[in-house]
Structure 1
Amino acid sequence: MRWGLIGASRIASSYVIDAIRAQAGSEIQSVLSSDEARGQAYAQDHQIPDSYTDLDALLADDSVDAVYISTTNEKHHPQAMAAIAAGKHVLCEKPLAMTLGEAVEMVRAAADKDVTFATNHHLRNAGSHLAIRDLIASGRIGKVLSARVFHAVNLPEHLRGWRINDASAGGGVIPDITVHDADTVRFHLAEDPVDVVAKAGVSGMGEGVEDSVMSVWSMPSGVMVQSHESFTHGYAGTGVEFHGTEGSIFARNVMTQEPVGEIRLVDASGESQVPYETHNLYHRAIGLFAGAAAGKGAPSADGVDGVKSLAVALAVREAARSGQATHVDYGGL
């Protein structure tokens, strides 16, 4: 598989380029940047043959089989639609789009074109989260009653910029982090939130966008989910908990791009540490995507997963704005 990178991004240079090259027979042919000099420097630094400022030119290269989109959020929809129309497989960063309608359009266009379309929700590829899902699915904690996600972090200086000051580019903690937590909860519970209530605010970093939010989601099974995301908490740590009729799972420092953290299972027999695989999250994600593009299996998070995580995030934002319980609209998917 030969790839084009749409976006000369930090996420690509830190994780995805390595993950692509870790796959047998995969290589990176090109990169797109709106800044010609930056794109050329990025290509040189990462040994990428071609650098473009024009998307159509990159997509016109018939040797490129797939693209990875990691531009700012408002660009995802038009860039993905162009790539799909060109017959490329697409791995897109979250959130898929700025609106639910745009995200649904992307998924349906990919299905019509018969190309693989996936969302880069990295957390469901972590060994820790795979272990948590297996504990729940195997009944180790009985019937799940409630869940708690705490994903309040200190957003590093180099990642701020548009994320804290540009609503038109998709800034704010809800599209940046709540969307991940929505996918993670869906992954573990295998069901979709019905409605949400929320409060959001600016607590020291956001400039015109929210930098902290708390919400509660109701699930079809009756499970209640409490979620907290922030850009301003330097010492809170991250994690997820699931509480059931027969036990509880406590996972700490697992909401991360690295294969780290600890999982504890507490039940009538006492407390035990839960082992898990410490593989590279992105190697697994890219491997599954490449397999799906070759007709073998499915990506770890497909386009429908991306639509549904976006739908929950949009409902949280609307609930925070309106002060009322908000139904989650999944756009018919």
Structure 2
Amino acid sequence: MTEKVVSWGLIGASTIAREWMVGSIRKHPLGRVKAIVSSDLSRAQAFSDQMGIPDAYDSLVPMLSDREIDAVYISTKNDQHLSQALAAIEAGKHVLCEKPLALEPKEAQSIVEAAKRKGVVLATNHHLRNMESHLAIKRLLREGAIGKVNSIRIFHAGSLPQSLKTWRLFEKSAGAGVIYDITVHNGDLLRFYLETNPTRITALATASGEGANGIEDSVMSVWEFPGDILVQCHDSFVVGYGPRGVEIHGSAGSILGIDVMSQAPGGSVVLRTSDGERDIPLELRVTYDRGVSDFIAAVQGKGSPSSTGEDGVWSVKLAKAVAQSAATGQTVLIEQV
């Protein structure tokens, strides 16, 4: 039986769609990009012309009315994800949405519930868990390569590219700031590694760079996980020359992921134990290829997305806890439901 081609509509003429997602969809033998929608028609048409996409719109309505479109990819401003995802689900489309799914956990949960009612696939585009480096790290953890994990350090601090210094730095109502852009990824990655949820989070944030007053561009947070595991996260838009990676320390060794917190393939993973230091071989692939492949398989009824809607709810919940702790100076306890 021939498998059906999955025809996609893009919601948002974004940098990530242009640089990564269109290519990853087209690499898949069942992937086709049919339409692009942007609030600015000229932007949509320019994107369409550049990327060779047949249809361009400045409204969701005609695109969601197109019966040929099976799935949508959403990469607009953070505050628009909720309404756009709900509209796409109501139209019977499968949804792959950028993080965060919404700005509030209850809103994100409403998207999950809508997808279940409609019987469509919902996924969150948390790309790090699909990178070969992080998959290798998780394999080492499952194998017990470093014994009992006791601490983790994530350094996800870089410099925001000039092209992205727009709403992320100036529109608080749109979900601006480093927490909903970067820290949200840490929450998903930690849950991927440890297969559990943190119990409490404490954070401090500052606005030290080019953004509007009160919009954080740097945050440091401490997370406690079951089993007395402590995690330290440093996330920033204003660190231009530092490495971005992860360290995981255990009773029998350490795992170092160096330059692995990015969109592009690359970086390295090193295992250090009493036997010495060993480089872990990596087959570097575009992380979004795996995410698209898992999503299309789920649409075909053959598995689930690599990062589900429920995973997206949890990453919103944890990002909000970091923001709440930074705003109040109090430790936030994480409800486990």
Instruction: Provide TM-score, normalisation by structure 2.
Output: 0.97
In the alignment, which residue of structure 1 is the partner of 2:282? 276
Distance in 2 (CA, whole Å) between partners of 1:25 and 1:199 is: 45
1:180: how far off? 0.6
Cα deviation, 1:141-166, whole Å, max 9, x if unaligned, reads 01100100001101111111100111
Distance in 2 (CA, whole Å) between partners of 1:66 and 1:139 is: 39
Return 263-272 or 202-211, whichever deviates more: 202-211
1:274: how far off? 1.1
Q: Does 1:295 align with 2:295?
A: no
Whether the 8 Å CA contact 1:119–1:301 is kept in 2: the answer is: yes
Distance in 1 (CA, whole Å) between partners of 2:209 and 2:98 is: 27
Q: Does 1:191 align with 2:196?
A: yes
Cα deviation, 1:49-97, whole Å, max 9, x if unaligned, reads 1111111111000100000000000100000000001110000000110
Cα deviation, 1:14-66, whole Å, max 9, x if unaligned, reads 00000000011321111101011111111111111111111111100010000
SS at match of 1:193: coil
CA root-mean-square deviation: 0.9
Match of 2:120 among 107, 115, 139: 115
1:206: how far off? 2.5
Q: Does 1:182 align with 2:183?
A: no
1:328: how far off? 2.4
Q: Does 1:29 align with 2:34?
A: yes
Structure 2, unaligned runs of 5 or more: 1-5
Q: Does 1:95 align with 2:100?
A: yes
Distance in 2 (CA, whole Å) between partners of 1:87 and 1:182 is: 29
In the alignment, which residue of structure 2 is the partner of 1:224? 230
- Matches of residues 1-333 of structure 1 in structure 2 within 5 Å? 1-208=6-213, 209-329=215-335, 332=337
Number of aligned residues: 331
Distance in 2 (CA, whole Å) between partners of 1:16 and 1:261 is: 21
Distance in 1 (CA, whole Å) between partners of 2:48 and 2:217 is: 33
1:329: how far off? 4.1
SS at match of 2:192: helix
Letter in structure 2 aligned against 1:152: A
1:221: how far off? 2.2
Whether the 8 Å CA contact 2:253–2:272 is kept in 1: the answer is: yes
Identity %: 49
Distance in 1 (CA, whole Å) between partners of 2:30 and 2:152 is: 41
Runs of at least 4 residues off by over 3 Å: none
Instruction: Provide TM-score, normalisation by structure 1.
Output: 0.98
Distance in 2 (CA, whole Å) between partners of 1:251 and 1:220 is: 23
Structure 1, unaligned runs of 5 or more: none
